[in-house]
Amino acid sequence: MGVSRPAKIMLGVAAASGLLGLGAALAETAASPLPAAVQRLLDCRSVPADTARLACYDAAVDELGRLIKAGDIVVIDHERVATVKRQAFGFSLPSLSLFDRGEKAAELQQVSGVIASAYRSSEGAWVVELEDGAVWRQTDNEQLARAPRRGSKAEIRKAALGSFFMNIDGQRALRMQRVK
């Protein structure tokens, strides 16, 4: 037995509602206006006649789909936002506020990682590369009892005045700066 046209309409509207929820959240919290294609989709809610509203949604969803496929509009979920914030931890990038839309702005205070390599610079400071590609450089003169090695666990947390502390395998913290 096939699906009736009204059921197909309801399925289409339900599928689009996820986009509408995202668009509505962005519309309420965004400092800048939404992309025109998203705004046109949201504007379809105000079309009073069912048939005209459905035609509006169909056209708007088609346009939005084309723009997403072309890469002119990018849709990102909370999981990817968290990944980007973690990857950028330690950098001061004001453009990351873009990723705070649609949710309470919760600032990441600490990350964990595994050391891929560690060495001393010519000045004697530790330079630590994590498996995720982040590179941190020691900015204080603190000494470690045991040298960091591949596989060591690193805990990095925010400190005062934009600085960061890194504990390696539970040892005393080193003051660090993200360099890459």
pLDDT tens digits, 16-53: 444 444 444 444 444 458 888 888 999 999 999 999 99
122, 108 in Cβ contact below 8 A? Answer: no
Residues 115 and 174 in one domain: yes
103 pLDDT above the threshold of 60: no
Burial of 130 (0-12, 13-18, 19+ CB in 10 A): buried
158 located within any domain: yes
DSSP 8-state assignment for residue 126: E
pLDDT higher for 21 or 165?
165
Q: Name the percent of the chain lying above pLDDT 90.
A: 32
- When divided into structural domains, the chain yields a total of 2
Which tens digits make up the pLDDT trace of 122-159?
998 999 999 988 899 999 988 999 999 999 999 999 88
Burial of 91 (0-12, 13-18, 19+ CB in 10 A): exposed
Residues 65 and 17 in one domain: yes
Supply the pTM of this predicted model: 0.49
143 located within any domain: yes
Helix/strand/coil for 123: coil
